[in-house]
Amino acid sequence: MTPYSISQLFIVKFVKNIRETFVLSLRKLLFLGRYKELIIFPRWRILVQTKNRAVVGILLMVFLFFVILMVFATFTVKVFNDESKVFDSQNKRGQIAVIEVSGPIMQAKETVELLEKAEKDKSVKAIILRINSPGGAVGPTQEIYEEIRRIDSAYNPEDKTASGKPIYASFDAIAASGGYYLGAAARKIYASPGTLTGSIGVIMNFTDLSKVFEYFKVKQTPVKAGKYKDIGSPHRSMTNEESGLMNKMIQVVHKQFMRDIEATRKEKLTKEILELAQGQIFSGEEAKELGLVDELGSLWKAGRDIHKELNLEGEFALKYIKKKKKSGFWDLVDNLDQATTNIRLSTMVNYMPMLIFGK
């Protein structure tokens, strides 16, 4: 039995004893005198003598003490959680890890943690990044790209002490813009013929609401230190100089995008990267003809090919690595905090987005 299970059983038994004491105390209160009011607590119906304030006070103190103990027990159980409780590895027999990237890429933390988990897992011989994303913010996408390159570049089949793992990419329904950016970091890309990919480009959206504010007679008076501090503000039109500055920055990020693709695929492309990086959307079949994709096939075809390529022993199986879902009190608080963060990020996207969305 693990230390975690022993501690958990101890806490459960402790809380159970407290609860029994609490119930016994409540039952004793029923014989104190006449009762004129019915108060309903969860699971218990208790008659309380309204004239006896001391009894009511003691009852409330016991109840409060019980609640505090429950919170303490939940927190203590959480403390005993270790890394094995954070990650969930489905199909432990699999030697090929699958890490899923789904939806807009707005944060790098979770994907990077899963990559590091797969890297440290000695039973994992290769990693497949399963991408189903239209793109996302530039910064997080580049952070994940760098982590993929680090792990993949460190792989050396001749050196048994090497910590790296070969990383492959498998495109789902869509892997556009930032989604393709991540795929380009892998040593080989698989996609279905109908997968939507490409959209290699950068976009920023600004909304000029100055006429709307003028119509409703709303005037903003910014107080700023720095000539360009309110650049892109919805309360006024952007000047030609400001527009030029933003376009210059966009071009720099666009060059970074193209440079990172060429770092791994320059010899595979059938056309110049600048011609392919104008935001066009390609099907998986078209992308293969252009050298943006290596093979046409599903996730399972990719897994079987990798199993054969690396001469892995045993039966082919995929091992999904995910963050474990939790339902504890403090995990609920964490989830609420994460939801708030996501809403805040969505709001930021509407006002100052620097995105590589596949649109």
Helix/strand/coil percent split, the chain, to 5: 45, 15, 35
Query: pLDDT tens-digit profile of 199-236?
Result: 999 998 888 999 999 899 998 888 999 999 999 888 89
Full DSSP string of 189-234: EEE-TT-EEE----B------HHHHHHTT-------SSTTTTTT-T
Q: What pLDDT is recorded for position 162?
A: 82
pLDDT-wise least confident of 52-56, 185-189, 353-357? 353-357
**Would you say the pTM of this structure is higher than 0.75?**
no
Position 161 scores a pLDDT of 81
Judged against a pLDDT cut of 50, whether residue 281 lies above it is answered with yes
Specify the pLDDT at position 41: 44
Q: Does residue 127 or residue 21 have the better pLDDT?
A: 127
pLDDT of residue 18: 57
Mean pLDDT of 324-336: 60
Active site residues: 177, 229
Arithmetic mean of pLDDT, 237-254: 94
Q: E-assigned strands of 112-166?
A: 126-133
Nearest to 149 by CA among 95, 186, 194, 199: 186
Average pLDDT, the chain: 80
CA distances from 50 to 29, 63, 212, 306 (A): 12, 18, 62, 75
Name the percent of the chain lying above pLDDT 90.
55
Closest by CA position to 242, among listed 271, 208, 200: 208
- Token representation of residue 274: 């600048």
User: Does the pLDDT of residue 3 top 70, yes or no?
Assistant: no
Q: Degrees (nearest 5) of the Cα angle 137, 138, 140?
A: 75
